[in-house]
Structure 1
C-alpha cells in the first residue's frame, strides 16, 4: 500500500479515533497505556533549581492527550511530537489550544516513521542533536516499523 493511500485512510479515521479516546482518554488509555508509558519513561519530579528541559520524542503522536499528561508531571518537559496524519495532528493542535499547556512546550510535525528519510531528519529537529532524552511510542504497529527502520539508520 502506498503512502498516499495510508494518508487518506488515517485522515478519514482521525475523528473516529479521537472520539473513541475522548478528551481525556478512554478507560484502556487511562488505566493501562498512560500509567505504563509514564512508568517506562521514568519522568523525574520537577526540580526548582533545574531549568534543563527533558526533551521527549513522541512517535505516532495521536490526539495530544499524552503530552498534556507529561507536561503536567514536570513543567521542564518539552515534547517533539510526530504523526503520520495531518487530520489527527490538526485535532491534536486544537486539543493543545484548549488546554493550559504553555505554548512552545509541544512541537508537532508530520513524520512518516516508516520512512528512513523522515526518521533520519529527526536528528535535525529542532536543530542538530545527538539524542532526545526519552523516546516514546504508544502504538504497537508504529513501533515495529520504526525499530526496523532505526536499526538501519544507526
Structure 2
C-alpha cells in the first residue's frame, strides 16, 4: 500500500472506531488525558483569554472544550467526520472542521492566524507529518507555540515489552507501520506509525522550529507507568 491508500484506510478505521472512543473518553477525557496529558499541555501552552488555539486531530473535542472553558478561542479539526459530529454534540462555541492534516490544501483552508497549536496523542496515527509542520511554520504567530503529545516511542510502543519493573526495547530507531488495538472494545485495529524521538527533532528543525521544552509525565498509582513515562510532550517555538 502506498501512503495515500494507507491514509484512506486510516480514515475508514477511525470512522468505525469513533463511537467507542467517544464513549470511552466522554466529555472530559479518561485518566490518561486528565492526569497525564491535559495539565502539562495546558501549562506548556500558557495561553491567555482570547488567544486563538488550533487543535489538531481533536477527536471528540475534549481538550478543545477544556480550553474553551478558560476563555480561549478554539478552532479544532479532525479527519473523521464522525469524530467532528460527536464533538459538536457537546455544544459550545468551538469552530470545528473536517480536515485531513496530511493534505496541504485542506490545511490551508483553515486560515492563517493562530497564537498556538496543539495535538494530543495524534501523531502516532498519522502517516505523514511534513504537510502539517510546514503549514504551522507559516500559520503560527511570531511568538506562537506548538505543543504535542505522543505515546512515548521508547517506552510505550510495539517495540517496548513491559516487564514488572523494566522495559525491554528492540528496533526502536527504525520508523515503522503496524496495527493494533488501543481499546479492547474498538471494532477495528488502528494504524500505528512509530518514529524515534530524533525524527520529531528533525521535522522541527526542517520547518523552522526549536524544541524548548520536553516533559515525560508519569502516573502516581504504583504501577510501571509510575516509573516509566508512557507519554512524552514537546513544546516547539518558531526559531527566529
Tell me the TM-score normalized by structure 2.
0.50
Higher strand share: 2
Q: 2:123 aligns with which of 131, 134, 140?
A: 140
Q: How far apart are 1:120 and its partner, in Å?
A: 2.5
Instruction: Compare relative contact order (CA 8 Å, sep 6+) and give the higher one, 1 or 2.
Output: 1
Structure with larger Rg = 2
1:27 maps to: 31
1:54 aligns with 2:58: no
Q: Aligned equivalents of 1:56 and 1:142: distance in 2? A: 21
Number of matched pairs: 131
Q: How far apart are 1:135 and its partner, in Å?
A: 0.7
Q: How far apart are 1:144 and its partner, in Å?
A: 7.6
Instruction: Rate the CA distance shift 1:95–1:119 in 2: closer, same or farther, 3 A.
Output: same
1:88 maps to: 83
Q: How far apart are 1:84 and its partner, in Å?
A: 0.5
1:7 maps to: 11
Which consecutive residues of structure 2, in runs of 5 or more, have no partner in the other structure? 139-240
Higher helix share: 1
Q: Aligned equivalents of 2:126 and 2:16: distance in 1? A: 22
Instruction: Rate the CA distance shift 1:150–1:72 in 2: closer, same or farther, 3 A.
Output: closer
What is the CA RMSD across the aligned residues, in angstroms?
A: 2.1
